[in-house]
Amino acid sequence: MISVPIELVRTDDRVLLEGPYSRRKELFLVLRAVRDFIAGFRALHFSGPCVTIFGSARVPESHPYYALAREVGRRVSLLGFGVLTGGGPGLMEAANRGARDAGGFSAGCNIELPQEQQPNPYLDRWVSCHYFFVRKVLLVKYSYAFIALPGGFGTLDELSEVLTLVQTAKILNFPIILIGREYWRPLLEQLEQMVRKGMLDEADLKLLLTTDHVDEVVTHLRTHAIDRFQLHQRRMPTPSRLLGERRDVWSLSWIRK
């Protein structure tokens, strides 16, 4: 079987970004993105406030990071939040698995890739996106906090997106947490260098909490998500049978007053 080099595969994002097409095809591309948004909104409408957890898809179950991510997902779920990830393998799977361990809600926004990334088996609800920008909107829309575990370009992209949205007041000042001091040390040093060069403000560094301890993550979420935004437990709205909606594994969720 002849394999096609990945750089030659015409992904949905590549087609969208290649340049102008006919007006009819441009309309088709827009409608396809709209379809992804609608599918995501329907799938996650009853997810309740979540914490989005970013992390590498390449980490095997035997790696210590996997156990860490699983514990993070479990503890976040015990706080009453849903756990939302990119829906793939590795640390995303581990975080979703931790939520499942605690009996909480576990969701994922998977992305269609040439490597055929499949949703992990620990998801109560998931949506598969054609476009990265749709996926990033969904990962932000339903969350009151963001946690970055060790990862690569994808994790850095998602982390940078969230930091930019908070810095520019496009979203509220939700807590952003980096787990793994040694792993993230080079990035933090680079950010400090950017402050010295006048590319960032000193206050921008305060948008991040960096820690190695899950207990500190939990305390930070209580103070800067639950308490700051006055989240309280109440019953979720009743799903509409007419729209084919359903509620998943829980009926109570944190809802802002």
- pTM for this one? 0.90
Instruction: Report the C-alpha gap between 37 and 129 in whole angstroms.
Output: 8
Nearest to 63 by CA among 150, 121, 142, 147: 150
The pLDDT tens digits of the residues spanning 50-76 come to 999 999 999 999 999 999 999 999 999
The pLDDT tens digits of the residues spanning 116-134 come to 578 999 999 999 999 999 9
Report the pLDDT value the prediction gives residue 8, as an integer from 0 to 100: 52
What's the pLDDT band for 4 if we cut at 50, 70, 90?
Answer: very low
**Stretch among 44-58, 120-134, 186-200, 234-248 having the lowest mean pLDDT:** 234-248
Backbone dihedral region for residue 169 (phi beyond 0: left; psi -120 to 50: alpha; all else: beta):
left
Could you state, in order of their start, the residue ranges of all structural domains in the chain?
6-256
104 or 6, which is more confident? 104
Fold topology of 6-256: Rossmann fold (3.40.50)
Q: What is the mean pLDDT of the chain?
A: 89
Q: Percent of the chain beyond pLDDT 90?
A: 77
What are the distances in angstroms from CA 227 to CA 1, 96, 179, 220, 256?
57, 24, 22, 10, 10
